[in-house]
Amino acid sequence: MANRDLHNMRESYDAFSLLEQDCDSNPFKQFDKWFQQAVAIDDLEPNAMQIATVGKDLKPTIRTVLLKSFDENGFIFFTNYDSTKGKQISENANVALLFWYRTHQRQIRIEGVASKTPKEENDSYFHSRPRDSQLAAFISEQSRVVESRAILDERFKQKEIELQNQEIPARENWGGFLIKPSLFEFWQGRENRLHDRIQYTKQANGIWEMERLMP
């Protein structure tokens, strides 16, 4: 194992700042602003987000998924409901999201509650995907053990032949989750590790309260 001096591995963050007067009072609009800026510079998969879930065993799990739509109702991604994350969300709907934009030296943290999206919305998105992606979702029993890559590839090829010239059906256990946020935190890297952190918390009356956090 290579012995690297991790103590001295650091970057200086000095490209941007985040001041209260520059923030939109609506965190969804602030998110859209940063998201569009990441898209404009062709940042690598700006819709990639980490989602953390915790099931009834209270053991947290985190992985990367792709955001597929968002508006002021919340943030949507799609998955197999029988996957680890799907099962954990069914046991505990509280989740956390994280977006990291390296070029702009930014991250966005979101906390909220997840719920399943309607079947018609699931089916519509499923059939908009590339055919190979539809087929992969159809044959995969996500998160289950498989003996080898060869078995997985063979299963894909068999279904590809079997369903040739047919519409690939969306499985009942495949669909979306809508995350309704209760908290946003916008983090902007700054010099000397005195980072800017602006947090929005949703109040009982539906108003978002904006506060600055210590770095």
How confident is the model over 11-22, as pLDDT tens digits?
Answer: 888 889 999 999
The whole-model pTM stands at 0.90
205: domain CATH number? Answer: 2.30.110.10
Answer yes or no: do 114 and 191 share one domain: yes
What domain count does the chain have? 2
Pairing state of beta strands 106-116 and 208-212? unpaired
Answer yes or no: do 70 and 137 share one domain: no
Q: What is the pLDDT of residue 5?
A: 78
In a domain, 110, yes or no: yes
Residue range 51-91, pLDDT digits in tens = 999 999 999 999 999 999 999 999 999 999 999 999 999 99
Answer yes or no: do 71 and 51 share one domain: yes
CA torsion, ordered 140, 145, 150, 154, to nearest 10 deg = -30
Q: What is the pLDDT of residue 138?
A: 85
Range(s) of the domain holding residue 31: 14-119+172-212
- The two tokens of residue 25 are 């009072």
In a domain, 3, yes or no: no
End-to-end Cα, the chain, rounded Å: 33
Helices 149-162 and 131-139: angle between axes, nearest 10 degrees? 120
Answer yes or no: do 191 and 165 share one domain: no
Answer yes or no: do 111 and 176 share one domain: yes
Answer yes or no: do 165 and 182 share one domain: no
Q: What is the pLDDT of residue 63?
A: 97
Answer yes or no: do 37 and 79 share one domain: yes
In a domain, 7, yes or no: no
Q: What is the pLDDT along the chain (215 residues), one digit of tens a residue?
A: 666 777 778 788 888 999 999 999 999 999 999 999 999 997 789 999 999 999 999 999 999 999 999 999 999 999 999 999 999 999 999 999 999 999 999 999 999 999 999 999 999 999 999 999 998 888 888 878 888 999 888 988 988 888 888 899 888 899 999 999 999 999 999 999 999 999 999 999 999 999 999 99
Answer yes or no: do 95 and 35 share one domain: yes
Give the largest Cα separation in the chain, rounded: 60
In a domain, 46, yes or no: yes
Answer yes or no: do 163 and 177 share one domain: no
Answer yes or no: do 54 and 142 share one domain: no
Instruction: Give ∠ CA 98-34-188 in degrees, rounded to 5.
Output: 65
Choose the catalytic residue: 102, 131, 193, 212: 193
In a domain, 6, yes or no: no
Q: Is 129 a catalytic residue?
A: no
* Phi, psi (rounded to 5 degrees) for 126: -55, -45
In a domain, 9, yes or no: no
Answer yes or no: do 31 and 98 share one domain: yes
Nearest alpha carbon to residue 210 among 189, 179, 185: 185
Rg of the Cα trace of the chain?
Answer: 20
Answer yes or no: do 114 and 132 share one domain: no
